[in-house]
Chain A
Amino acid sequence: MTRLERLTIALLWVVGGFTFMVLYAPALIVILFSFFAMKNHQIDWSNFSLEWYGRLADNSQLLAALYNSIVVGICAVVSATIISLALAYYMKTGVRRGRAYVEFIIFLPFVLPAIITGISLLVAFREIGLERSLITVTIGHIVLILAVVYRMVTIRLDTLENSQIEASLDLGANGLETFLYVVLPQLRSALLTSSLLAFALSFDETLVTFFLVGGETTLPMRLWAMMRTGFTPEINALVSVVLCVTLLFAALGAMSLRESIERKP
């Protein structure tokens, strides 16, 4: 390497390092502010406090929103998983001419901006007279995460030899038994990974939820509302908690993803 090239690479690392810093700065600053107060445009390092975290536990609105988010997430993940399993298994067990059509439709909400999906569902719900509620939010989340779950299920299912299914049928199991005893157990790690990822997506979902939410609200919606009304240190604490929880989920997902890659027979 010439000196010029070495210099260029070093310069690139400076830019890259700075960019990484910028990417993580928001999260770090928020976490910092949740423990320390600001005084005269400077962080008051002397005043470490967990006060804001304590106040979170008393905020019943916030806890309700958290509860809603978890319920919506679980319902959406379970529904999307069932739909994905049914679709993927159907596509697996025969030459299906409609496969391209179904996959195109499923991936649409993933590719199009969230605002389009949000408006579509909002209009459709109004047309069929469905009031906005947590149910509409859940349906919206199913539509959004379906692409992710379906993709991860098909990737694993495609590596499953057809002879596995044929062997099971050959040994006297019908389609349902084959699915339960042979296919499902081998999809376990893929389902775990996709569920974690899908739950994280649902837990974070904001841009579609905004159009579909009714009286009861999810955590990101609650957060948004709190920020609109004003900045309190309490928000910093809440945001830190949310950050840590999502990071935990992401870490779990990354681990199980790695495991499923390594365990591939």
Chain B
Amino acid sequence: MMTVVSAELADTSVGPPRWLASPGKIVVRLLVYGVPTVMILAPLMSFLAYSFLEQKDNIVTGHLTLANYAAFFQSGSYLYVFFGTVKLAFVVATVALFLGYIISYLIWRLEGSTRYLLLLLSALPLVMNYVVKIYAMRSILGFNGFLNSFLMASGIINAPSKLFIFNQTAVMLAMAVIYLPFGILPIFLALERIPQSLLSAAADLGAKPGQIFLTVILPLSLPGSIAGALFVMVIALGDYLTPQMVGGSEGFTFGRAIWSQFGMAFNWPFGAALAVVLLVTVIALIGLASLIARKARLG
């Protein structure tokens, strides 16, 4: 402590304390910390606050209340939609993990320019317009869509099937296709992190390729891959447009429930409360993902 005190004394003997040095610096500091706070943190806070406001007869009264949360937890239908959506997102993430792992593993085994090209090709759908992808999925899955036409033309079915559109399956299929590319890249990076020397060591110790995969590659890449899949689950949880487009009335999801509060139902405080429930779920998932990723790094 002595040195700290003497240093401070010395500073004042040299001139004014550093933080007083220039008012310009204070302005800069205010801007640097203020702009992100005002643009991002403040809206988040106001949205959190909104979920505790009371609404009566379509008017926000300004009183604090927990009624919005109570309404969610006491309503069977909202809870049902919530857990249904969590399940849906989980299935989408699992599909992304499974297929994403296969694709990443195949690309990872390659060498040279094919490797780069295929990696680029698997990332390219990320930049395709989101609305366009939903639209395309609908034109594939729809009653008069490509899938039905294909199945009928090949004689598998006689009449167009309603299995693929306006239900939970349709939402699941569309989301799986749209969000799969988000899973490929993290899984590929998890595979890339495995030191080449470990594979050589395993081979040197007599492991066959299949054994190397099961004993070295899979255990080392799985945590990172699961973290990537959890990221997909987070995105799928918050989507409210895909279910609207291909889900119809049967494909109602939690995202749509939140959206409707800000649109048709116009109950913002309740919508904010539902969004907070989503936020908490998402934070839990992200926390889980970073926990898994950290565990994996510590070995």
Are A and B close enough to touch in the complex, i.e. CB under 8 Å? Answer: yes
- Mark contacts of A109-147 with chain B using CB atoms, 8 A cut-off: 1 yes-contact digit, 0 otherwise: 101111111011111100100000000000100110010
Chain A residues, Cβ within 8 Å of B181:
23
Stretch with Cβ within 8 A of B (4 or more), from A7-15, A53-61, A187-195: A7-15
Chain B residues, Cβ within 8 Å of A249:
127
- Mark contacts of B40-68 with chain A using CB atoms, 8 A cut-off: 1 yes-contact digit, 0 otherwise: 11111011001000000000000000000
A123 touches B135 (CB 8 A): no
Q: Determine whether B149 belongs to the interface, using a CB cutoff of 8 Å to chain A.
A: yes
Chain B residues, Cβ within 8 Å of A180:
none
A106 touches B40 (CB 8 A): yes
Chain B: interface residue total (CB-CB under 8 A): 71
A15 touches B99 (CB 8 A): yes
If the complex has contacts A105-B36, A207-B239, A220-B131, are A116 and B278 also in contact, measured as CB distance less than 8 A?
yes
Q: How far is the CB of B109 from chain A (nearest CB, A)?
A: 8
B133 touches A26 (CB 8 A): yes
Mark out the residues of chain A between 7 and 59 whose CB falls within 8 Å of any chain B CB in the assembled complex: 8-9, 12-13, 15-16, 19-20, 22-27, 29-30, 33, 38, 41-42
Q: How far is the CB of A239 from chain B (nearest CB, A)?
A: 5
Q: How far is the CA of A206 from the CA of B148 in the complex (A)?
A: 29
Q: How far is the CA of A83 from the CA of B207 in the complex (A)?
A: 53
- Which of chain A's residues has its CB closest to B105's CB? A12
Q: Please pick, from A29, A102, A206, A250, the residue contacting B146 in the complex, using a CB distance under 8 A.
A: A29
Q: Determine whether A242 belongs to the interface, using a CB cutoff of 8 Å to chain B.
A: yes
B50 touches A123 (CB 8 A): yes
Q: How far is the CA of A69 from the CA of B262 in the complex (A)?
A: 24
Q: Determine whether A229 belongs to the interface, using a CB cutoff of 8 Å to chain B.
A: no
Stretch with Cβ within 8 A of A (4 or more), from B164-172, B219-227, B230-238: B230-238
Mark out the residues of chain A between 59 and 107 whose CB falls within 8 Å of any chain B CB in the assembled complex: 83, 86-87, 90, 98, 101-102, 105-106
Chain A residues, Cβ within 8 Å of B245:
227
Chain B residues, Cβ within 8 Å of A87:
32, 35-36
Mark out the residues of chain A between 223 and 259 whose CB falls within 8 Å of any chain B CB in the assembled complex: 223-224, 227, 231, 235, 239, 242-243, 246-247, 249-250, 254
B129 touches A220 (CB 8 A): yes
A108 touches B139 (CB 8 A): no
Q: How far is the CA of A249 from the CA of B128 in the complex (A)?
A: 10
Q: How far is the CA of A98 from the CA of B30 in the complex (A)?
A: 11
A5 touches B209 (CB 8 A): yes
Q: Determine whether B286 belongs to the interface, using a CB cutoff of 8 Å to chain A.
A: yes
A200 touches B238 (CB 8 A): no
Given contacts A106-B40, A113-B282, 13 further A-B pairs with CB under 8 A are: A23-B125, A27-B136, A86-B31, A113-B239, A115-B238, A120-B43, A121-B43, A143-B39, A143-B40, A207-B238, A220-B131, A246-B127, A247-B128
Complex A-B: 10 CB contacts under 8 Å: A1-B209, A26-B177, A41-B152, A98-B33, A116-B275, A116-B278, A123-B47, A143-B39, A242-B132, A243-B128
